[in-house]
Amino acid sequence: MPSLILGLFRRLFRRLSGRDPLATLVRRGLVVGRNFYMQDGCVIDACHCWHITIGDDVTLGPNVTILAHDASTKRALGYVRLGKVAIGHRVFIGADSIVLPGVKIGSDVIIGAGSVVTADIPAGSLAAGNPARVLGTTADYLARQQALLASSPCFGEAYTLRANVSASRKNEMNAKMGDGPGFIV
């Protein structure tokens, strides 16, 4: 609960103070499409954000980092290496993932949590790992999840933090899920 309150306070402070990091990045040249959502703790390379393009309907999970520069060359070569980053439409990048300079992620891609994306990921792919590699197609993954959804417990809005989920509902969720998965709106 305290982290929820802290997150809400941070968002409120940003709005009231005019210090919206995303708005600052966009003013500096970051290109972001419609319905872009980044969860708490995300880092988008503020020093070189104008080299980053993000498409429509993109979600960044918590603590995702997107870099457009690599300073490892600065001391030895006197220059920092730059690389454009392009993220397509309808992309989900899982928690704690890192996207490195020069990477293109196609549309309709899911990147698994904790991945380090060092090379291009083609459209319609499910990728994960360090370094991230293509594990299959997004369509196949979503078909498997759709089948699992039919036999798993599903929970509505009342079971979310934004609806102030009660302790009894939390216990109910855990009991219904048992050792398997569940799904929530």
Report the b/e string of 27-54 with b at 16+ CB within 10 A. eeebebeeebebeeebebbeebbebbbb
Q: Find residue 86's DSSP bridge partners.
A: 53, 104
Ramachandran quadrant class, 136 (left: phi over 0; alpha: psi -120 to 50; beta: rest): left
Please say if 48 is a catalytic residue: no
> Which helix (H) or strand (E) segment is 47 a member of?
none
Residue type, 149: L
- Active-site positions read 69
